[in-house]
Amino acid sequence: MTEAQPVAGVPRRLLWSRAEVVSLRDDTPRVRSLTLAVADWPGHLAGQHVDVRLTAEDGYQAQRSYSIASPPEAPLLELTVETISDGEVSPYLTGELRPGDIFELRGPIGGYFVWSERQPGPLVLIGGGSGVVPLMAMLRHRAIAGPTQPALLVYSSRNWDEIIYRDELERLAAADPSLRIVHTLTRAQPQGWQGFRRRVDKAMLEELGVPALASPNLFICGPTPMVETAAQASVELGIDAARIKTERFGPSGG
């Protein structure tokens, strides 16, 4: 992270806009995606996030950040939210919102954890749980733009049913020989599971050939301990720290 350059897509001033829920999709038992129509959306880059603000009847307001799951090319904005059971905002977004409901958001925010197909070098995405959301925006963008570089997604989930975007990821990989998707299931595995069954670590990245890649761009997103381990492992494998971008979700993470 040596050069900090302003990036297109970061507007000069971020105003609150109204987002209308167009549709809802259940991705897993605890994760729901919201498709939103946002008035005057200025556009975004893959990897950016928005701030959501909810207002209660008594005027109480709460704000939280959510990554944008939809690619820059999509006409509607998609957010993918995991229900934190004792949480304040996420259970409302996943459990209460109905099509036609309106709430406020502003963005796009974050000009560093972003990727575009024009960025040279192979793409390595490492995600844990809902940390896959901004990475999905990158993969969707890549599929639309037309892949020119190989890409690898290493995605850690607790079990098979908690893999967010599972079918879509399968379709993306099937349609694109230069995209490799590797799941690791940390808590429970289906019968006959041949894949990884542990948290992302150095040996895993080594086995997947990450150190052999020339000038890769790494994006790591998820709970803090996962991000710390994966970023540390990548540095130990000889990857230039300046090529590793990280995003840590929520408190100390699970």
Partner 1 sequence: MTEPPISRGFRSRKPQTEQRDRVPPGQYLTTDFPVLSAGPTPSISVDNWSFALQLGGSLLAKWNWTEFQALPQTDLKTDIHCVTKWSKLDTQWRGVSFDTLLEAAGLSEAPTEYTMLHCDGGYTTNVPVADLKDGMGMVATQYDGLPLAPSHGGPARMLVPHLYFWKSAKWVRRLRFIEKDEAGFWESLGYHIYGDPWREQRYTGD
* Contact residues for partner 1, defined by CB under 8 A: 1-7, 10-16, 18, 51, 53-58, 60-65, 86-88, 92, 96, 101-104, 109-113, 224, 228, 231-232, 234-235, 241-242, 244-246, 248, 250-252
Min dist. Cβ of residue 247 to ligand FAD (A): 6
**Of ligand FAD, partner 1, none, which one sits near residue 63, judging by CB under 5 to 8 A according to partner kind?**
partner 1
Residue nearest to ligand FAD (CB): 87
**Of partner 1, ligand FAD, none, which one sits near residue 84, judging by CB under 5 to 8 A according to partner kind?**
ligand FAD
Q: Is 155 in the site for ligand FAD (CB under 6 A)?
A: no
Site residues for ligand FAD, window 25-64 (CB under 6 A)? 49, 64
Residue 106 forms beta bridges with which residues?
A: 51
- Phi, psi values for residue 203, rounded to 5°: -60, -40
Min dist. Cβ of residue 131 to partner 1 (A): 14
Q: Is 133 in the site for ligand FAD (CB under 6 A)?
A: yes
Q: Which amino acid is at 200?
A: V
Q: Which of 82, 103, 181, 227 contacts ligand FAD by CB under 6 A?
A: 82
How many whole angstroms from its chain centre is CA 100? 25
Torsion of CA 228, 246, 86, 136, to 10 degrees: -130
Using an 8 Å Cβ cutoff, are 219 and 124 in contact? yes
Please give the Cα distance from 228 to 193 (Å, whole number).
27
Min dist. Cβ of residue 207 to partner 1 (A): 20
Q: Which residue has the tokens 């409901």?
A: 101
Please give the Cα distance from 247 to 239 (Å, whole number).
18
Q: Is 130 in the site for ligand FAD (CB under 6 A)?
A: yes
Describe the strand order of the beta sheet including 179-185 as a list of residue ranges.
179-185, 151-157, 123-128, 217-222, 244-248
* Binding interface with ligand FAD (CB under 6 A): 49, 64-67, 80-82, 84, 86-90, 130, 133, 247, 249-251, 253-254
